[in-house]
């Protein structure tokens, strides 16, 4: 943050930072619970994720309103303006990650009614990698650590490859055991939602790099 910023602007930005970090923690917890609900077929835990989504939506709106208020009242420039722009984008991606956690939780509710089967891909590995990506991205946000944010971006390709392989494995499994199609299609949806969480997590990491270094790397084709 700019050491020379007006006192009132500094207070507003600190308050905004606390709200964004609160939203980050809430979203991370929703993803953790949704993944656990899938692994354990825990209907009650899944419904907690679904029921809590409105709180994430309210927090997202609150952060956005604060950003717009700061822009209107204080007209920040340079580093402070860059921070507000990054927060607006990160805020949106966090809300989308929350929505995707709800999607996974809804799959968990459905799967809780079916007989559990062995999945044709390693769900535990994929989900743990995505959660680690999210944790690193949020840690990079908390600590303004662009190097850690760049580590997140490297991991995204691995998640994409796991998702592609999972699609092939599920297609093969459906041909072998058509009676398991309901289970398998739901797990296919879970994998797709995890992959999309990874995409939004990468967006967060890219915006942390912009916030800290002033560098826009989206579509740059650069090695991280």
- Residues 211, 205, 46, 119, Cα dihedral to 10°: 180
Q: What is the pLDDT of residue 1?
A: 47
* Contacts (Cβ under 8 Å, ≥6 apart) of 146: 140, 208, 209, 212, 213
What does the alpha-carbon distance between residue 110 and residue 90 come to, in Å, rounded to a whole number? Answer: 31
pLDDT for residue 218: 76
pLDDT, position 220: 60
* Structure tokens, 188: 């296919």
Per-residue pLDDT tens over the stretch 153-174: 999 989 999 989 888 888 888 8
pLDDT of 42 over the 90 cut: yes
Residue 80, helix vs strand vs coil: helix
* Of residues 6 and 8, more confidently modeled: 8
- With H, G, I as helix, E, B as strand and everything else as coil, classify residue 42: coil
Cα distance between residue 178 and residue 174, in whole Å:
5
For residue 104, give the nearest of 204, 31, 162, 54 by alpha carbon. 31
C-alpha to C-alpha distance for 173 and 93, rounded to whole angstroms: 33
What's the confidence (pLDDT) of residue 122?
A: 80
Q: For 172-224, how does the pLDDT look when each residue is reduced to its tens digit (9 = 90+)?
A: 888 888 888 998 899 899 999 999 999 999 999 999 999 999 998 876 655 55
pLDDT digits (tens, 9 = 90+) for 106-123: 999 999 998 887 776 788
More confident residue, 115 or 33: 33
Residue 3 has pLDDT above 80, yes or no: no
Kindly state the tokens that stand for 142.
Answer: 């908390």
Mean pLDDT across the chain: 91
- Three-state SS for 97-114 is HHHHHHHHHHHHHHHCCC
Q: What is the DSSP string of 118-173?
A: --SS-HHHHHHHHHHHHHHHHHHHHHT-HHHHHHHHHHHHHHHHHHHHHHHHHHHH
The pLDDT score that the predictor gives to residue 35 is: 96
What domains sit in the chain, N to C, each tagged with a CATH number? 7-213 (1.20.58.220)
**pTM (predicted TM-score):** 0.91
Q: Is the pLDDT of residue 150 over 90?
A: yes
């Amino acid at each position: 943050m700019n050491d020379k910023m007006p006192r009132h602007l500094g207070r507003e930005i600190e308050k905004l930072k606390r709200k964004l970090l609160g939203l980050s923690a809430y979203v991370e917890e929703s993803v953790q619970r949704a993944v656990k609900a899938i692994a354990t077929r825990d209907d009650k835990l899944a419904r907690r994720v679904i029921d809590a989504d409105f709180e994430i939506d309210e927090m997202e709106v609150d952060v956005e309103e604060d950003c717009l208020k700061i822009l209107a009242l204080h007209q920040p420039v340079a580093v402070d303006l860059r921070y507000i722009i990054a927060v607006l984008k990160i805020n949106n991606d966090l809300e989308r990650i929350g929505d995707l956690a709800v999607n996974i939780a809804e799959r968990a509710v459905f799967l809780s009614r079916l007989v559990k089967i062995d999945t044709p891909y390693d769900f535990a590995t994929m989900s743990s990698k995505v959660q680690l990506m999210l944790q690193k991205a949020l840690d990079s946000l908390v600590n303004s650590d662009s190097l850690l944010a760049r580590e997140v971006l490297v991991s995204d390709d691995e998640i994409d490859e796991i998702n592609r392989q999972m699609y092939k494995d599920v297609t093969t499994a459906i041909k072998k055991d058509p009676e398991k199609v309901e289970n398998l299609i739901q797990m296919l949806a879970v994998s797709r939602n995890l992959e999309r969480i990874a995409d939004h997590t990468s967006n967060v990491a890219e915006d942390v790099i912009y916030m800290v270094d002033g560098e826009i790397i989206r579509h740059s084709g650069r090695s991280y």
